[in-house]
Structure 1
Amino acid sequence: MEALENSGPELREPRVRDVGNGLKELRVSAREGIARGFFFFHTGRQIFVVHVLQKKTQKTPKTSLELSRERMKVVKRMLE
């Protein structure tokens, strides 16, 4: 999260992947395992994290991606 906070929208692959419609995936590795965080930027550098999961398989679960997209829509509606 520190790299994301410091670099903002300039942070790119392999740390951050664009998954479409403004939703991004933050990739984090630690001794405890691998995690993914889904987030989006609002008004420049304001970051909204909508979902975090511990990675257990090679591919990100479709349900996590769908949940993240839905939560992003809800948050954006609230910000209007």
Structure 2
Amino acid sequence: MMVSKPVEFRGSALEDLRAFPEAARGEAGYQLDQIQRGREPDDWKPMNAVGRGVREIRIRDAAGAFRVLYVAKFDDAVYVLHCFQKKTQKTSKTDMNLTAQRYRDLLKELGR
């Protein structure tokens, strides 16, 4: 049996996730649970522009499009870097930069 990895939220990611509408929040929780168990989320894409191994969970809901950016390549935990509602087709530079900064901070913290 696969041991479940803990999820660790970086910066304001947990508060941001809690601000999602209930259905989107529930879907994000389900997808993170899949990742914790070593499975792939249902709808994701790599975000290598942010950092190696960073992925984006894509959630579509009646209230709009929501994103959870995370990295799961480390053995100790699944790190959620950023959660936000997507307002346009393209992910904003602000969201990309914030995620990239949190990723760099995480690498420094892990000594990589």
User: Smaller-chain TM-score range?
Assistant: 0.7 to 0.9
Residue in 2 that maps onto 1:19: 47
Q: Which residue of 1 aligns with 2:75?
A: 43
Which stretches of structure 1, 4 residues or longer, exceed 6 Å deviation after superposition? none
Q: Which residue of 1 aligns with 2:34?
A: 6
- On the 8 A contact 1:4/1:11 being kept in 2, the answer is no
Structure 1 Cα separation of the partners of residues 108 and 33 of structure 2: 24
Structure having greater relative contact order (Cα 8 Å, sep ≥ 6): 2
Match of 1:72 in 2: 103
Higher radius of gyration, 1 or 2: 2
The number of residue pairs the alignment matches comes to 78
Structure 2's unaligned 5+ residue stretches are 1-27
Q: Which has the higher strand share?
A: 1
User: In 2, distance between residues paired with 1:6 and 1:18?
Assistant: 16
Question: What is the TM-score of this pair, normalised by structure 1?
Answer: 0.79
RMSD of aligned residue pairs (Cα, Å):
2.0
